[in-house]
Chain A
Amino acid sequence: MTRIRLCLNGRDVAEDIAPRLSLADFLREHRNLTGTHLGCEHGVCGACTVLVDGEPARACLMLAAACDEREVTTIEGMAGDPIVARLRDSFHRRHAVQCGFCTPGMLIAARDLIRRRRAGSEAEIRLGLAGNLCRCTGYTNIVAAIAEAAAATPEGESR
């Protein structure tokens, strides 16, 4: 067992964990944060995307042990984020959610694209979503929802 201390969704957390535990399993099974979904478990599908130290990362490709002294934010920790609020609204109106499995990862990836100003065109959004697989929607409504949220985001909220 190894001791980790991290800031999880704004709160300090300390726990003894097995070193082989992935960040994704730590979040889901130890902290009951089941908004982080696990699809492929080898970095391809993007369903487990979270923020580590403010940047998107695959929770399946990080050992929880390597998150000691880091800041981790999951979809549950983004209730107050203005870009995610805008995305939630546009995903709803544009019907960009079917089964919902990819949605937490999509929202985190889309927020990052908007923040980095990489959501200026349909082509740019599609390229930026290459690492997030959706097997329901055909992406059309997801791309439209992100374009709408990006257009509504003032420059001050991107970086």
Chain B
Amino acid sequence: MKAAAVDYVRARSLEEALDLLATPGVESLVMAGGQSLVAMMNLRIAAPERVIDIARLRELGEVVEDDDAVTFGACVTHAAIEDGRFADPSRGLMAKAAQTLAYRAIRTRGTLGGSLALADPAAEWPVVLAALGAQAVLRGRGGQRRVPCGDFVTGIFETRLADDEIVEAVRIPKLSGEARWGYVKLARKAGEFALALAVAVVDPVREYRAVVLGAAEGAPLPLGETSRLLGEGRCERTAARAAIAADLDAATARHIAPFRRGLHAVAALRAIEEAQR
């Protein structure tokens, strides 16, 4: 339960971190809060040659609000979101998700960008950010690019982040005053990783709706038929169940066990009912 030998560098700027990451011949991993990475190093699932610590880069801790969106620096902690220390584009959804994420002593260090970049299939942020229609802002030495969070995660611990890129920020569009959301996490114990996770968002003013599942044997799983139904207004429980079943049937590439499928269906139904309340 001890990490293997490793080099540690605390980057003094994002540019320095990117230069370090691009060093040829050195297998480096970027560490934000380290709340997954250090556990994985202790278990020796991860054994990088060098850790590049970006946790205290001021430029990654900032939150900027404009007319349409709030942009969170990658190293904003879960606890800061839980406590509502910044402008909230999500009308409470992000704070709710943060409260259910691990434990306070982990939330004080773990970060929004770190969670997204790691892309644990059962993690909260990749699902919430996809459901909010957020964009990941990625920085490489050649410049910046944006990828919709719904496309960013491509599989289990797999993302579109290139080897020489760092998640710099997440840009989250503001929900209107008429928007509603539902958030349902099923786990055997508070703070554990989800067995099923469903996030529903509907914003009639922006004609936006999304229902996304997490912990679903892969990347966050958008439920197309279900979100279409949610966008049409109040839906009956029978119709909602049928739409959820159709969406789960359509996910043929995923090997979802029957028990877990039942949990996903319950989580999705509760989430859309919460979003219609």
Indicate if B96 sits at the interface (CB-CB under 8 A). no
Query: Contacts A19-B51, A112-B104, A131-B191 given: A62-B109 contact, CB under 8 Å?
Result: yes
B189 proximity list for chain A (CB < 8 A): 130
Whether the Cβ atoms of A57 and B108 lie closer than 8 Å is yes
In angstroms, how far is the closest chain A Cβ from the Cβ of B261?
27
Residues of B close to A25: CB separation below 8 A: 2
0/1 interface trace, chain B 228-258, chain A, CB 8 Å (1 if under): 0000000000000000000000000000000
Given A19-B7, A20-B4, A130-B191, check contact A109 B51 (CB 8 Å).
no
Report if B1 contacts A (CB, 8 A).
yes
- Contact among A2, A56, A60 with B8 in the assembled complex (CB-CB below 8 Å): A2
Contact B8 A66 (CB under 8 A): yes
Q: Is the Cβ of A68 less than 8 Å from the Cβ of B10? A: yes
Any chain B CB within 8 A of the CB of A55? yes
Check if B39 is an interface residue, CB within 8 A of chain A: yes
Closest-by-CB residue of A relative to B3 is: A20
The answer to whether B108 and A61 have CB atoms under 8 Å apart is: no
Q: Which of B178-198 contact A (CB under 8 A)?
A: 189-191
- Whether A127 pairs with B105 at a CB distance below 8 angstroms is no
With A20-B6, A25-B2, A41-B1 as contacts: A62 and B106 at CB distance below 8 Å: no
20 extra A-B contacts, CB within 8 A, seeds A43-B35, A65-B53, A130-B189: A20-B3, A20-B6, A22-B3, A25-B2, A41-B1, A57-B108, A61-B38, A61-B42, A61-B109, A62-B109, A63-B38, A66-B10, A66-B53, A109-B104, A112-B105, A127-B190, A128-B104, A130-B190, A131-B105, A131-B191
Complex CA–CA separation, A18 to B10 (angstroms): 14
Q: How far, in angstroms, from A100 to B22 measured CA to CA in the complex? A: 47
In the assembled complex, the Cα of A46 lies from the Cα of B106 at a distance in Å of: 10
A73 within 8 A of partner (CB): no
A-B pairs, top 8 by smallest CB distance, nearest first, are A131-B103, A19-B8, A41-B1, A130-B190, A56-B105, A42-B39, A55-B108, A65-B8
Q: How far is the CB of A83 from chain B (nearest CB, A)?
A: 15
User: B1 contacts which of A18, A42, A55, A109 (Cβ < 8 Å)?
Assistant: A42
Residues of B within 8 A of A56 (CB): 104-105, 108
Asked if A109 and B105 sit within 8 Å, CB to CB, the answer is yes
Q: Can you report 10 residue pairs joining A to B where beta carbons are below 8 Å apart?
A: A2-B8, A20-B4, A22-B2, A42-B43, A57-B105, A57-B109, A58-B35, A61-B109, A66-B31, A130-B190
Within A41-58, the residues touching B (CB, 8 Å) are 41-43, 46, 49, 52, 55-58
- Whether A66 and B2, one on each chain, are in contact in the complex, defined by CB atoms closer than 8 angstroms, is no
Q: Mark B3-22, 1 if CB is under 8 A from A, else 0.
A: 11111101000000000000
Q: Which residues does chain A contribute within 8 Å of B34, judged by CB atoms?
A: 61-63, 66
B149 to A: closest C-beta gap in Å: 25
